Structure 1
Amino acid sequence: MMLKTAKPFRTKCFVLCVTTILLFITGYCLYKPLPEGFTVSKWDRAVMHVVEPALRVAYYYPSRMFSKASSMVHWTRGALNILSKTLGILVNTHGQIDIKWHNWNGTPVKVYRPIDNQTSTDGAILFIHGGGFALGNVEMYDSLVERMAYEMKTLFISIEYRLSPETVFPGGILDCEAAIDYFFQYGNAQFGVNTSKTVIMGDSAGGNLATVIAQRRAARNTLPKLAGQVLIYPLLQMADMQTISYRYFHARLNGYALVDPESVAYYYMFYAGIDMDEKAYLVPSVISNGHVAKHLQSDVEEMMSYKMVIESTRHYNNHSISERWEIEKNYEAQDLMEPFLTNPDFSPLMRKDLSNLPPTMVITCEFDILRDEGLIYAERLKASGVPTTAINYENGFHAMLNFHSELHEASKSVDDIERWTLNAINDA
């Protein structure tokens, strides 16, 4: 009887030991030490030592195995959609937010409204999610938007615009504007808000769309004016992919599951309507700036005029960063990208007149290739007389707000955003 019991016990122990050894070997193979200063607390660092390798396994490594760029996009979409469901589970709004889908002028939107209209303001926030114009959706940002709606006791509208490569520029802009036009026409009657107290908010590519929409409304003197714009690590240009934040990535962050130069090139070019299944060979020249035609360079340099200020004051803890490398000119890439690189509706950093824009908050992160363009835009806004608050999170990284309930640095940034946004609404 004892022999019969001992055999299954030994089998379970063997399986447990083998599993433990395999997990240890896997963890050892996947381990990459995070850069000094990446995340702010021991807890955040421990979490990211688990999350970052998991992201590499879930989407970063598999996406690089596909022969077609569109397959890479579809895999990454699916992986991130699944992974996002594990985030924000600690958020508890105590049933105080009423959430409903609507269709506004053909664009789906999700409305987050304090129940019984128990709002602290009579304003509203229009939220546009990120994802390189090709990834992400409203559901992926559910916990973040619901948290902000609850803590701010304010109406939020999250916009489900169409993605590339299926829908190319300017399709996403037009989807967002269609929904926003509906809100400004019917928001007062439907929700009892003062539409002149509306703040537009977006992260990454959503920050691009929010910036473009704010610029277009200002250029046309469209009423009501926005009360403010919150641009969270925004994607603002692709004419200079050798800024110091890009070069730091190549020197220190290559191979991590963070936003990388190649992905920006792929997603931006998909958004431009270029078939990257056929044109993937252009990417190496693009990330060296070989896609910028000579006659556009002076305009690009003018709009990037604060680049030298950024590069002379921010050194990544004096980490060794290479000088700009040689440009690999590619005339095909130049011809394909010429209509877009200095078009402010595509690259909003390239808009020359910024004087009529609403008060602005610009969020950037130290460990983000997009850091410099956000900082440059903030400096140009200030120089144009636009009330601007710029915060660079020294320990932050791109897309950290998706971990708002897991990481201290991300949660702190949400608090900062909420405080600024409420002040913008109340001051309108």
Structure 2
Amino acid sequence: MNPLMRAVLGWFAAPRLNMREDYEKVRRAQRGLAAIAVPPTRARDWETVEDENIFPVPVRIFRPKETRRNDVVVFFHGGGWVTGDIDSYTPACTTMADLMGCVVASVDYRLAPEHPFPAGLEDCYRVARKILDQPELLDAQRPENVILMGDSAGGNLAAVVAMRLRDRDETVPSRQILLYPVTQWDHDPQTSPFDSVREHGEDLRLTNTEVQDYLELYVPDSTQRQDPEVSPLAAENFSDLPRTLMITAGLDLLRDEGEAFASKLAEAGNDIVVHRVERALHGFITLPRFSRSLREAYEQIDAFLEDPTRAP
């Protein structure tokens, strides 16, 4: 990247926050920015309740302007397991429903540090399992029409939920779309096996320090961070998982670990498509619709879903 452009992006895109102290401020700022967007007219809220003794999980349902697919996307938002919610992601999910032409169910899972691992994962798993078991709830014709999707920490949750469903002999979704996911625990430039951590972890959208803060808030017990349900790249079994579209950002410290996870899936015999949005920063799925990075990503998503050789 041009050094001047890198300096500009570093100045504007990566305010240096102490996530341990500032996460509540970030949450408020995210909601405030989302509120500026026009409120959706095609969204409704829903709660999954299987048992009165279990915490209900709020879900926001987005319908597209024009329905082109019978699919239902179960979406897990990003934010390091600490920030983000269905309000702050409402503009992105409205765009998602319109550009994918199908229903999007955005899951408002519990956040750390108030609810550390595995609380958020449990919420995502419960919602996915319920929709896979009862796809008619959201007008999906069959479980094969259910797609797991997530960005960043949400991509981590989507990957882990799919593995958990497989391991428990439950219905596994036919497809998953992982956007620049977190797949492993070590983001120290001195010890990480990935070059992107060293190339892009200091002066762009997401920093090594921020990722480490997020992980420590999400998983306070350091001995648990290498658990495959936190670091799916550490799993022993990568077989029998959904057909996967892995989209990474070229200027993201998480780039290489996402692509390494895709390689593991491919080596285990899964159907994998990998696309790197070369000049994109971490988090680009929340950008306005005119963004080049966003448009490129949705072109890949549309091609992935439309490929007749990969029909569910």
Query: Does TM, scored on the shorter chain, surpass 0.5?
Result: yes
CA distance in 2, matches of 1:194, 1:260: 41
Partner of 2:48: 104
What secondary structure, in the 3-state scheme, does the structure 1 residue paired with 2:230 have?
Answer: coil
**Which residue of structure 2 lines up, in the alignment, with residue 340 of structure 1?**
225
CA deviation string 1:68-101 (max 9, x = no partner): x542211222223323445x66xx99x6xx2100
State the one-letter code of the partner of 1:339.
Q
Quick one: distance in 1 between partners of 2:116 and 2:232?
16
List, as ranges, runs of 4+ consecutive aligned residues in structure 1 with deviation greater than 4 Å.
51-56, 422-426
Shift of 1:397: 1.1
- Where in structure 2 are there 5+ consecutive unaligned residues? 50-55
2:176 paired residue number: 229
Aligned to 1:16: none
Residue type at the aligned position of 2:33: L
The match for 2:30 is: 80
Counterpart of 1:178 in structure 2 is 126
Amino acid corresponding to residue 46 of structure 2 in structure 1: H
Query: Using the alignment, how far apart are the partners of 2:248 and 2:138 within structure 1?
Result: 35
Report what 1:33 is aligned to. Answer: 4
SS at match of 1:34: helix
| Contact kept in structure 2, 1:124 and 1:193, CA below 8 Å | no
Distance in 2, Cα, partners of 1:173 & 1:210: 9
Secondary structure of residue in 2 paired with 1:372: helix
Q: How far apart are residue 337 of structure 1 and its match? A: 1.7
Amino-acid identity (%):
25
How far apart in 2 are the matches of 1:425 and 1:135? 38
Distance in 2, Cα, partners of 1:349 & 1:406? 33
Alignment of 1:28-427 (within 5 A): 33-35=4-6, 53-54=11-12, 60-61=15-16, 63-64=17-18, 70-86=20-36, 98-105=42-49, 106-114=56-64, 119-188=67-136, 191-223=139-171, 225-239=172-186, 241=188, 242=192, 243-249=194-200, 254-256=202-204, 258-272=205-219, 274=220, 336-341=221-226, 343-423=227-307, 427=311
Separation in 2 of the partners of 1:354 and 1:78? 38
Residue 153 of structure 1 and its aligned partner are, at CA, apart by 2.5
**C-alpha separation in 2, matches of 1:261 and 1:136:** 19
**Normalised TM-score (structure 1):** 0.65
Distance 1:424 1:126, change over 3 A: farther
Q: Which amino acid aligns with 1:134?
A: V
Matched residue pairs, number? 300
Determine if contact 1:110/1:159 at 8 Å carries over to the other structure: yes
Computed over aligned residues only, the root mean square deviation of the Cα atoms, in angstroms, reads: 2.6
Shift of 1:426: 7.5
Higher relative contact order (CA 8 A, sep 6+): 1
Distance in 1 separating the partners of 2:248 and 2:268: 20
State the Cα distance separating 1:35 from its structure 2 match. 2.8
Determine helix, strand or coil for the equivalent of 1:136: coil
Provide TM-score, normalisation by structure 2.
Answer: 0.87
CA contact (8 A) 1:148 1:418 kept: no
After superposition, the C-alpha distances for 1:345-374 in whole angstroms (9 at most, x for unaligned) are 111111111111010011111111101101
Does the Cα contact within 8 Å between 2:100 and 2:298 map onto a contact in 1? no
**In 2, Cα distance between equivalents of 1:380 and 1:413:** 22
> Quick one: distance in 2 between partners of 1:425 and 1:222?
25
The answer to whether the 8 Å contact 1:124/1:197 transfers is yes
Where 1:385 maps in the other structure, the secondary structure is coil
Q: Give me the whole-angstrom Cα distance separating, in 2, the residues matched to 1:173 and 1:424.
A: 32
Judged with a 3 Å threshold, the aligned counterparts in structure 2 of structure 1 residues 112 and 425 are, in CA distance, closer, same or farther, namely: farther
Q: Secondary structure at the match of 1:35?
A: helix
